[in-house]
Amino acid sequence: MIPAAFEYYRPKDMAGVLSVLEEHGDDARVVAGGHSLIPMMKLRMAEVPHLIDLQDVAGLTGISIDAGRVRIGAMTTQHEIINHAGLSDVAPIMREASLQIADPQVRYMGTVGGNVANGDPGNDMPGLMQCLDATFILVGPDGERSVAARDFYEAAYMTDRADDEVLTAVEFAASKGGYAYEKQKRKIGDYATAAAAVLITKDGGTCASASIAMTNLSDTPVYSVDAGAALVGTSLDEASMKAAVDAMLGDIDPTEDNRGPIEFKRHAASVILRRAIENAWDRA
């Protein structure tokens, strides 16, 4: 558990970060909370000759809520998300999900930027961001650009982010209606066996909109357009529920690991999704 040697940089501003990235290309990487990257370096599964610490870079932290739009700086920790009063009002699903990530010690360090940029299918926030239809703000040598969370993930550890870009913030609209984050895990601090993020709005007794994404059931987060669509316009009767679950089962592609075989994961996914939908519906 000893990492290979690396150079450590601690710039004060984004220009400093970008210049190291530019100089060393994919030999350089940023570190945020380090709770995904450092273990990989210690296992020597990630070799990072040039490590750029983001913690002193100005302007990367904080949560702002403005005219129904939420912006969370990349270096904001999961702990800060849990304890931010205003955020719980406009996007309660953020708190519900964050409380199910890792354990308090990890959450003091783990950041939203690291969680979404990492590209690990086990991370909870990518699916959550897709459910919220969030936008990621990236900055690189050519300036700033934004990309939809739903377009960001390509494969495990492969994202739309270029090696010389840094994620500075995530943005999404305040969510209305019901929400639920359901996660099955083996123990505290475990990644999901199956997790579901659901947002539902109601119009009378009818589902007006539904956004559904799942985690750790494919090599990317799974945002299922069809699952959401199956609920819209229904009163969430058994048939529409089943249609939504079936649609999701058509979109996921889990692999066998110590959490269990594929058969089990598909079953767990359907149960967790059902529970999340029911929960969000009740809260809508």
Binding site for other proteins (CB under 8 A): 1-2, 4-5, 44, 103, 184, 186-191, 193, 258-261, 264, 267-268, 271-272
- Of 109 and 174, nearer to ligand FAD (C-beta) is 109
Query: Which positions ≥6 away from 267 have C-beta within 8 Å?
Result: none
Hey, which residues between 245 and 284 contact ligand FAD (CB under 6 A)?
Answer: none
CB of 100 to ligand FAD, least distance (A): 7
Choose, by CB under 6 A, the member of 41, 81, 91, 167 that binds ligand FAD. 167
Instruction: Provide the minimum distance between the beta carbon of 106 and other proteins in the complex, in angstroms, as a whole number.
Output: 12
193 contributes a contact to ligand FAD by CB under 6 A: no
Residue number, 186 or 242, with CB nearest to ligand FAD? 186
DSSP 44: T
Does residue 32 bind ligand FAD (CB under 6 A)? yes
Distances (CA, A) of 84 to 62, 64, 98, 249: 10, 10, 12, 35
Closest residue by Cα to residue 272 from 192, 203, 204:
192
Q: What's the closest the beta carbon of residue 139 comes to ligand FAD, in angstroms?
A: 9
Tell me the C-alpha to C-alpha distance, in Å, between residue 251 and each of 212, 266, 267: 12, 11, 14
Task: Report 80-109 residues binding ligand FAD (CB under 6 A).
Answer: 101-102, 106, 109
CB 41 to other proteins: min, Å:
12
- CA 272: distance to chain centroid? 18
Q: With CB cut-offs between 5 and 8 Å by kind, which of ligand FAD, other proteins, none does residue 118 bind?
A: ligand FAD
* Min CB(194)–other proteins separation in Å: 9
Minimum Å distance from CB 234 to other proteins? 23
Q: How many residues bind ligand FAD (CB under 6 A)?
A: 29
d(CA 108, CA 32): 12
Q: Taking CB under 6 A as the criterion, which residues in 110-129 touch ligand FAD?
A: 110-111, 113-115, 117-118, 123-125
CB atoms under 10 Å from CB of 153, counted, come to 24
Q: How many CB atoms lie within 10 A of CB 45?
A: 8
Do residues 127 and 215 lie in contact, with contact meaning Cβ atoms separated by under 8 Å? yes
> HEC states along 153-212?
EEECCEECCCCCCEEEEEEEECCCCEEEEEEECCCCCCCCCEEEEEEEEEECCEEEEEEE
Other residues' Cβ atoms within 10 Å of the Cβ of residue 67: 6
Interface residues with ligand FAD (CB under 6 A) are: 29-37, 54, 74, 101-102, 106, 109-111, 113-115, 117-118, 123-125, 166-167, 189, 191
